Chains A and B, each alone.
Chain A
Amino acid sequence: GQQVMQIPQYQHVQEGEDFTTYCNSSTTLSNIQWYKQRPGGHPVFLIQLVKSGEVKKQKRLTFQFGEAKKNSSLHITATQTTDVGTYFCAGMRITQGGSEKLVFGKGMKLTVNP
């Protein structure tokens, strides 16, 4: 079945560092979404990317959708301790039957050393 792979699965950074995490799909996606889950919490929707090559920014977070709509990246600038959590990408694809199916990656767990 369709897979959405996130790399790396774990990321440990020093406060203030920049880093990028990636999401790759085996099939073309109609859109891709990113969610953040704080420790002990529930996933919270961050953003959706729909168009090929789309780039969106939320403060220090930059999200990009690949030209082929099969991959995405999340870049965090000047990481802060408040960024700690697990980041999930989720790819939406249209099935042969015409329904939408959202598939989550396994997540990237971010820890920050203050």
Chain B
Amino acid sequence: DAGITQSPRHKVTETGTPVTLRCHQTENHRYMYWYRQDPGHGLRLIHYSYGVKDTDKGEVSDGYSVSRSKTEDFLLTLESATSSQTSVYFCAISEGTGEYWRGYTFGSGTRLTVV
């Protein structure tokens, strides 16, 4: 879908270690998003980007940082992983505008476990 690749697909890490998740897209989309999905909470926005070096916080941004040095890559970093950050992380891009809007396209997700 829309050339979105997330890596890694699965990761187990220890509490207190930094972790970086990568989202790569091949179609020059301006807007990119990071969501986490947890049972009972649905999808919650962590951070988003509206261009190279332009990022903003979502509703659950504490403990996370992002970077976008190139259009195609949006990185999510857990500065010091905690067990509460065990989750499935989805990257998304938005396609089209106005009447040509095609919704958000999500990557396949990264399942992160913090032990």
Contact = CB atoms under 8 A, between A and B. Distances in A.
Interface stretch (A37-45, A59-67, A69-77): A37-45
Given A1-B59, A48-B101, A42 B108 contact: yes
Interface string B20-41: 0000000000000001000011
Interface residues of B, number: 19
A91 interface: no
Interface string B92-110: 0000000001111111110
A48 B103 contact: yes
Contacts of A41: 108
Interface in A76-114: 88, 90, 102, 104-107
Q: In the complex, which range does the number of interface residues on chain A fall in?
A: 10 to 19
A104 B42 contact: yes
Given A1-B59, A48-B101, A42 B106 contact: yes
B90 interface: yes
Interface of B: 1, 35, 40-45, 59, 90, 101-109
22 contacts: A1-B59, A33-B103, A41-B108, A42-B106, A42-B108, A43-B43, A43-B90, A43-B106, A44-B106, A45-B105, A47-B103, A48-B101, A48-B103, A88-B42, A90-B104, A102-B104, A104-B35, A104-B42, A104-B43, A105-B42, A106-B41, A107-B42
